[in-house]
Amino acid sequence: MKVLLAQVLAFCILVPFTTQAEAENISVVMSSDANLYQEALEGFREVVRHRIVSVQTLKENPTTWRDEMKKLRSTIEPDLVFVIGTSALQAVAGEITNIPVVHSMVFNPFSNTTSTGKNVVGISMTPAAGQVISLLRELNPKIRRVGTIWDPSRNVLLISQVRSIFQKEGIQLVSREIRSAGEIGAALKSLEKEIDVLWLWPDEAFLAEDILQRVYLFSFESKIPVLGLSERHTEMGALLSLSYGSAKDMGRQAGEAANRLLDDSPTAVVPHIQARQLKLTVNLKTARKLDIKIPETIVQRAGNTIKAPIYRNGDWWVFKTKKIYANGKFEVEDHRVTFRNGAFQANETSFLRGEDIAPTPSFLPFATVHLTDPARKWLDFPLAPGRTWSFQYRRRSFTSEDDLKPRYLGGSRVSTWVDANAEAVGYKSVVTPAGKFDAIEINRWDVLHRPAYLTYLYSPQSKSVIKLEADIEFRDSETGAIRFELELIAYGNEAVGKSDSR
C-alpha cells in the first residue's frame, strides 16, 4: 500500500507498480441512503474490479462519525474507501489518511479543509471553468464580466484557479467576499453595475432557498441573468444551469479511478476529475422577464425541454372526443390514429384535418398528434415553460350565412389562412384512461371569424396530446358556443403492445 499511497500523493506522476494477484478490499461510506447516492453506488459496482467488503450509512449525529471511522479502520482494514456525499467525505477524509479515498456526489470538496487531503481523489459535481466560459460565450459573446459571491475561509484554492482561467480567456471574474448570509444583500447591490451575469458559487452555505430567492429578486430587478448549479436553481429563477448529468455515471467514474489506484496501473490519477456527463437546463420564463433571447442551440440541447418525438412504424393512439353544445346535447366518438409508412392514418380522415363544418360542426382540433404536414405541424419543439410562438394554417370555411347549406344545394367553402398563437405554460401530472403522465400544458388561441381557445396537455411518454379542452364560439349561428374535449384512452405499438411508454 506504500506504493499506492505514493501514487495518490503524486497524482499526475507515473509510478511503476507490480501486478497484484488478488483483489483489494473496498469499504463504502454514504452520507445517507438517498436515491441519488444509491445510483452512484450502483454505477460504482458496475465497473470496479475489486471486492466491496462493507457498505455503511453515516448516522445523523456528526459526533459519532469519528468513532464510526475508527471502527472501520480497526475491524475491516480496507485498501480503499469510496465515499458518497459531502458528509461522508468530511467524516472519512479527516480520519483516514493512509489509504486512498475516492469520493463522488460531493458538491464542493474545496469548501472544507479536511476534505482536500493528499490521499483524496474525487469526481466533481460542478462544471469546469472552461465549460462555464463556453456556455456564457454561446449565450452572448459580449459577456465580459462574471460576478460571484464566496467565502474566503472556504474557497481560496478554487477561486484562484477559476480567476486565472477566466483572465486567460479575457473575462473578468468580479467577486465579493462575504462570511455570513446576512452580507448577501450588500454584496449583490455592489455588483449591480459591474457584471453581465451572476454565477452561483458552489458553496452550500450560500445556497439555501431563502438566499436564492434574494438572488433571483436581484436578477429580475437589475436585469442580470443568473447561472445556476442545478436544475432546481433553474426552476427557481436562474436563466441557465450547468450541472452534473448522471449520478450513476459519476459512480462509474469513481469506480474507474479506484481501479487505477488499486490495479498498480501506470495511468496517472488526478485529484479533481470532471463529471463527463453534464446537464444543461434553461428557464424561458426568466428569459422573457429579463428580455433575453436564449440561442436556439442552447434550447435544443437543454435537458429540461421536451424534444420532438420520433415515431416508429406501428405506433398507434386511441382518443375519445366529446362535443358539448350550448343546448346541453353532446356527442362522443372514439378515433384511432396509426403511424405507418411515414404517415398518420385515422379511421376518420377529418380527425387529422380538423375540418369545421358549420352549423353542426364536427370540429376536431388540429394536431391531435404531432403531424408531419408542415401546414399542421404547429408544436414548436423543443417545448419548455415560457416558450411562445405564432404560426399560420389553412382553414376551409364558409363565406356567408347563405353558404351554410349542403354542397349539393349550392353550398360552398373557401380556403383561408388563419393566424394562431401558442404558449407552453408548465408541467403537471395528468391521469387518463391510458395511464399517468408527466405533461406540459400548452395554451393556444386562434384568430378565426369564430374565436377558438384551446388547452392542450402534451406528453413525451405517449408522444401525443393526452388531453385537450377547446371552447369555440360560432357567431351568427344557431349553434352558439361548443366545448370540445379529447382524452387519450390507449396507445402503444403494433409490434410491442398496449401502453408502451418507451
Give domain status of residue 499, yes or no.
no
Same domain, 429 and 360: yes
Same domain, 117 and 84: yes
Q: What is the mean pLDDT of residues 389-415?
A: 58
Same domain, 291 and 339: no
The dihedral built from the CA positions of residue 450, 451, 453 and 458, taken in this order, carries a sign that is positive
Residue 68 to residue 50: CA distance in whole angstroms:
23
- The letter for the amino acid at 175 is S
50-59, 84-93, 149-158, 172-181, range with the lowest pLDDT: 149-158
For 216, residues 6+ apart whose C-beta sits below 8 A from its C-beta are: 226, 236, 237, 238
Domain that holds residue 89: 2-126+246-274
Q: What is the mean pLDDT of residues 374-383?
A: 73
Residue 9 to residue 184: CA distance in whole angstroms:
38
Give domain status of residue 500, yes or no.
no
**pLDDT-based confidence at 136, cuts 50/70/90?**
very high
Q: Are 471 and 448 in contact (CB under 8 A)?
A: no
pLDDT in tens, 226-246: 999 989 999 999 999 999 889
| 319 strand-pairing partners | 335, 488
Give domain status of residue 86, yes or no.
yes
pLDDT beyond 60 at 113 = no
3-state helix, strand, coil in the chain (%, to 5): 30, 35, 35
Q: Are 82 and 27 in contact (CB under 8 A)?
A: yes
Same domain, 336 and 221: no
In the numeric block, which cell numbers belong to residue 380? 414548436
Give domain status of residue 65, yes or no.
yes
271-275, 372-376, 378-382, 417-421, range with the lowest pLDDT: 372-376
DSSP 436: E
pLDDT in tens, 441-472: 999 887 765 667 889 999 999 999 999 888 87
Same domain, 220 and 268: no
Same domain, 481 and 358: yes
CATH of the domain at 457: 2.40.360
pLDDT beyond 90 at 126 = no
**Domain count across the chain:** 3
Same domain, 323 and 415: yes
The contacts found for 215-222 with CB under 8 angstroms, 24 or more apart, are 215/184, 215/188, 218/188, 218/189, 218/192, 219/286, 219/290, 220/286, 220/289, 220/290, 222/192
**Model pLDDT, residue 502:** 41
pLDDT beyond 90 at 298 = yes
pLDDT beyond 70 at 358 = no
**Model pLDDT, residue 21:** 44
Q: Higher-confidence residue: 407 or 81?
A: 81
Q: Report percent pLDDT > 70 for the chain.
A: 78
pLDDT beyond 90 at 50 = yes
Q: Higher-confidence residue: 31 or 412?
A: 31
Q: Are 40 and 105 in contact (CB under 8 A)?
A: yes
**Model pLDDT, residue 93:** 82
Same domain, 264 and 291: no
| 344 strand-pairing partners | 339
For 466, residues 6+ apart whose C-beta sits below 8 A from its C-beta are: 430, 432, 434, 437, 439, 457, 458, 459, 487, 488
**Model pLDDT, residue 16:** 36
pLDDT beyond 60 at 266 = no
Same domain, 22 and 136: no
Residue 300 to residue 381: CA distance in whole angstroms:
8
114-128, 138-152, 153-167, 481-495, range with the lowest pLDDT: 114-128
- Helical (H) or strand (E) element with 414: strand 413-432
CATH of the domain at 187: 3.40.50.2300
CA distances from 320 to 80, 170, 225, 337, 343 (A): 59, 59, 44, 11, 21
**Model pLDDT, residue 13:** 34
**Model pLDDT, residue 461:** 94
pLDDT beyond 70 at 207 = yes
Q: Higher-confidence residue: 11 or 287?
A: 287
Q: What is the mean pLDDT of residues 211-218?
A: 95
**Model pLDDT, residue 137:** 96
Give domain status of residue 236, yes or no.
yes
Range picked from 46-60, 215-229, 475-489 for highest mean pLDDT: 215-229
pTM score, whole prediction: 0.78
Residue 287 to residue 296: CA distance in whole angstroms:
13
